[in-house]
Amino acid sequence: MSFLWPDFLWLLALVPVLVGLYLLALRRKKKLAVRYASLSMVRDALGVGQRVRRHIPPALFLVGLTLMIVAIARPTATVKLPAQHELVILAMDVSGSMRAVDVKPTRLAAAQEAARAFINDQPSNVKIGIVSFAGTAAVVQAPTENRDELLAAIDRFELQRATAIGSGLLVSLKAIFPDVEFDLRSSNPRPNADNKHGVAIDQPKDTAKEPPKPVPPGSYKSAVIILLTDGQTTTGPDPIESAKMAAERGVRVYTVGVGTVQGEVIGWEGWSMRVRLDEDSLKQIANVTRGEYFYAGSATDLKNIYKGMSSKMELTKQQTEITALFVAAAALFVMVGAGLSLVWFNRLL
Q: How far apart, in whole angstroms, are the C-alpha atoms of residue 305 and residue 112? A: 13
pLDDT of residue 207: 46
pLDDT of residue 250: 94
pLDDT of residue 92: 95
Query: What is the rounded (10 degree) CA torsion for 25, 27, 28, 34?
Result: 150
Q: How far apart, in whole angstroms, are the C-alpha atoms of residue 230 and residue 42? A: 86
Phi/psi of residue 8, nearest 5 degrees: -75, -10
Average pLDDT on 138-166 reads 93
Q: How far apart, in whole angstroms, are the C-alpha atoms of residue 229 and residue 255? A: 8
| Percent of the chain's residues with pLDDT above 90 | 33
pLDDT of residue 45: 52
Average pLDDT on 245-253 reads 94
Which amino acid, one-letter code, is at 131?
V
More confident residue, 288 or 82: 288
Average pLDDT on 29-38 reads 59
Q: What is the pLDDT of residues 275-304, one digit of tens each?
A: 678 889 999 999 999 999 999 888 888 888
pLDDT for 251 beyond 60: yes
Q: How far apart, in whole angstroms, are the C-alpha atoms of residue 253 and residue 288? A: 9
More confident residue, 132 or 214: 132
CA 66, 68, 71 angle in degrees (round to 5)?
A: 115
pLDDT of residue 188: 46
The pLDDT mean for the chain works out to 80
Q: What domains can be seen in the chain, in order of their start residue?
A: 2-78+320-345 (no CATH), 85-297 (3.40.50.410)
Whether residue 189 has a cis bond before it, omega within 30° of 0: no
Q: How far apart, in whole angstroms, are the C-alpha atoms of residue 302 and residue 294? A: 9
How many helices and strands, by DSSP H and E, does the chain display? 10, 13
pLDDT for 208 beyond 50: no
Average pLDDT on 320-333 reads 89
pLDDT for 268 beyond 60: no
Position 237 confidence tier, pLDDT thresholds 50, 70, 90: very high
pLDDT of residue 196: 38
Whether residue 214 has a cis bond before it, omega within 30° of 0: no
Average pLDDT on 107-131 reads 90
